[in-house]
Amino acid sequence: MQLRPQFSIFAVGLTGTAQPHHFRFVHLHNHSHYSLLDGACRIKDLVDAAKRNHMPALALTDHGNMCGAIEFYKTCKKADLKPVIGVEAYMAPRSRKEKSASKAGMADTSFHLVLLAKNLQGYQNIMRLVSIGYLEGFYYRPRIDREVLQKYHEGIIVLSACLKGEVAQALLAGNEEGARQVALEYRELFGDDYYLEIHKHGIPEEDLVREKVKALSRELSIPLVVTNDTHYLKREHALPHDVLICLQTGKDRDDPNRLRYTTDQIYFKSQEEMQNTFPEESEALSITEEIAQKCDLKLDFDKVHLPTFAIPSEEQSKTLDEYLETLAYQGLRQRYAEVTPELEARLRHELAVIEQTGYAGYFLIVQDFTRVARAKGIPVGPGRGSAAGSLVSYCIGITNIDPIKYNLIFERFLNPERVTMPDIDIDFCYERREEMIKYVREKYGEANVTQIITFGTMAARAVIRDVGRVLKMRYSDVDKIAKMIPATVGISLDRALETVGELRTLVESDDTHKQLVEYAKVLEGLARHASTHAAGVVITPDELTNYTPLYKSNTGDVTTQYDMKALETIGVLKMD
C-alpha cells in the first residue's frame, strides 16, 4: 500500500532547519438539514465550523439527494474553502427495480455508499444517479444499484460508508468473504478512488466492524479513511437532534420502540478531537486531505442555459435577435397610433441591450407561451414586477402595461451589468395552469421541463409546537408560548425573546419551558419537508439532469432538487 503523510512529518525549510508540518483533517461525511428531519446542520454553520477549525475543504453528503449542493458550493467559495459535493447514496441489495422486503422491512432494502465528485463529470454523474434513485429506484428510500453505478461511475470517489454500508453489513453478519468480494468489486470499478471508511462513535457494533475493516484494508491494499458522519454541529445538540428524529418518525420521545441514535458523537469534531479519537490512525486521518485535493469541481455560474427557440419557417433566415426585432416593431405599430422618434429610440436601446446580454431567446420563449395562453382563452395577467418597465415586453405582448405612459424604467428590469437573468413574472389562471405546463413540455421536450421544489422550514412558532409535541408538554403551555411569538414575517426565537418581555420571563422561570426553547432554537429554520412550488417551472436546453438533479414526491410529482435560488444561480430558465 502506498505510504502517505503521517500526523507530524518534518520538512526542510529555506534555512536548512527541519520544520514540523501537520496535515489538516477534512470532514468528508456530513449531513445538512437537507437530509430531511435527520441532519440538523445549516449549511452556513457547517462551513463556519470548518473555517474556525482551519480546515482547507469540506464535503456535503446528504442522504440520497443533492438539494443543498449549490448553496453549499457558493457558501464554501465565499469562505475561501474548497467545496466537495457528494451524496450518501442508497444502494439496492440487488436491482433498483426490485421492490420487496423481508420481515425486517425497510432495514434490508438498501445499503449506504458515499459518493464524492472529483470534477464536473463526477458532479453530473452524481446528479444522474440521485435522479435515478427517485425516479426509478424509490422503495422506502431513493435507491440506485450496481448497474447504474457502473454506467455513471466516472469522476467519482467512493467511501464505503457507515454501519449501514454494504461492507459493514456483511461483516456484522459474519460474512467476511462477502465483505471481501464487495470491496474487491468496488475497487475493480473505482480503482484508487475507492476507500474503506471507519468511524468511532462509541457504538459497540462499530468497534467490531472497524477492526475487521482495518484487516480487510491490509489484506486487499485498499486505503482506510476516517470520517465522523456529522449530523449536528455540537455535542450538546444530540438531544435536539433526537427530537428531530421523533418528528421524522412521528413518534413520542419516550416511545421505547422508536428509531434513535445510541451516541452523542455524530457532531462536527475539531481536528484535535479527531486526532484524539483515532490516535493510531494518522494515515487514515491524513488521507482525508488527500481525497479533498483529488476533488477539483469548478462550476461556472456566469453561463446562461436557454432552451432553443424555434423560429417560424417563414422567418428561418433570421437570427433570434432579428426575429425579436421584427416582432417588436410590428407590436410598436400596433400599440401606438403614432410611432415617435422617442419611442423608436427607446425600442432600439432596449433591443441593443437584449442583444448584448444574449437574452433574445428568453423574450421569444416567454412571448410564445403568453401568445398561446391568450389564443387558448387562458387568462394572463398584465405583467408585474420590473418586467413592466420594458417596451419590448409590451410590444411583443408579454405585458399589457405601457411603460412610456407610466414612466417605467427599463434598466430596473435588464441592465448590461446585471449578472443574473432578468425575471419575467407571468400570472396564468391557476385552474388552467396545467394546460400551459403541458404545452411547454410538448414544445421543449418532456425530459427538459419540470416543476420546481420548495422547502417548508421550521419557523419560530411552528418549531415550538413541533418540539413541545415530541416532549409531550401540555398543549395549553406550548400554545401559550407559541402565541407570544409575534406573527411577523421572518421573526426568530432570539428576536422574540429580545422584544417580548413576558415571553422571556415565562421561559426563564421554568426549566421545562427553557428546555423547549433551547431545543427549538437548535432546530429553528431547518428544512422540514419538500413540496412542489405553486408556480415554478424550469426549462433546460437538453436533459434536465445535465443541470439539476430530480426529486419525486410521495404523490408522484417530479420536481428539481434545486430550489428557485439555486436554479437562478446555475443560469437555467425558470418561469414562475
**In the numeric block, which cell numbers belong to residue 220?**
486487499
**What are the start and end residues of each CATH 3.20.20.140 domain in the chain?**
26-232+268-294
Burial 52-77 (b: 16+ CB within 10 A, else e): ebebebbbbbbbbbbbbbbbbbbbbe
In the chain, the amino acid numbered 505 is T
- Does position 420 have pLDDT exceeding 80, yes or no? no
State residue 21's pLDDT score: 41
Per-residue pLDDT averaged across 553-558, rounded?
92
Mean pLDDT score across all residues of the chain? 92
Which residues neighbour 120 within 8 Å (Cβ) at sequence distance 6 or greater? Answer: 155, 297, 298, 299
In 223-296, at which residue ranges do the beta strands (DSSP E only) sit? 224-226
Q: Please tell me the predicted confidence (pLDDT) of residue 417.
A: 81
For residue 357, give the C-alpha cell: 446580454
* Positive or negative torsion for Cα 115, 119, 120, 122: negative
CA nearest 382: which of 420, 426, 348? 426
Q: Name the burial class of residue 287, with classes exposed (0-12), middle (13-18) and buried (19+) by CB atoms within 10 angstroms of its CB.
A: buried
**And the C-alpha cell for 504?**
422571556
Beta strands, E only, 66-213: 82-91, 111-117, 143-144, 156-159, 194-198
Helix (H) or strand (E) holding 560: strand 558-560
DSSP state of 232: B
The tens digit of pLDDT for each residue in 55-70 reads: 999 999 999 999 999 9
DSSP state of 453: E
354-375: average pLDDT: 94
Nearest to 169 by CA among 112, 225, 221: 112
Handedness of CA 28, 34, 35, 40 (dihedral sign): positive
Cell numbers placing 265: 458523537
Residue linked to cell 427553557: 514
Q: How far is CA 232 from CA 25, 31, 238, in A?
A: 18, 8, 7
Amino acid at 65: N
Q: 187-213 burial, b for 16+ CB within 10 Å, e for fewer?
A: beebeebbbbbbbbbebeebeebbebb
Residue 423 — pLDDT band, cuts 50, 70, 90?
Answer: confident
pLDDT band at residue 103, thresholds of 50, 70 and 90?
A: low
Q: What is the pLDDT of residues 279-296, one digit of tens each?
A: 999 999 999 999 999 999
Q: What is the DSSP letter of 474?
A: -
User: pLDDT tens digit string along 2-37?
Assistant: 333 333 333 333 333 333 446 689 999 999 999 999
- 518: nearest Cα among 239, 290, 300, 172: 239
Pairing of strands 156-159, 111-117: antiparallel
- Superfamily of domain 26-232+268-294 in CATH is Metal-dependent hydrolases (3.20.20.140)
For the segment 238-267, the average pLDDT, to the nearest whole number, is: 90
Neighbouring residues of 20: CB distance < 8 A, sequence distance ≥ 6: 8, 9, 10
Burial of 416: CB neighbours in 10 Å, binned 0-12, 13-18, 19+: exposed
pLDDT digits (tens, 9 = 90+) for 330-350: 999 999 999 999 999 999 999
* Measured distance CA(435)–CA(537) in Å, rounded: 13
117 vs 126: CA distance, rounded Å: 7
Is the per-residue pLDDT at 418 higher than 90? no
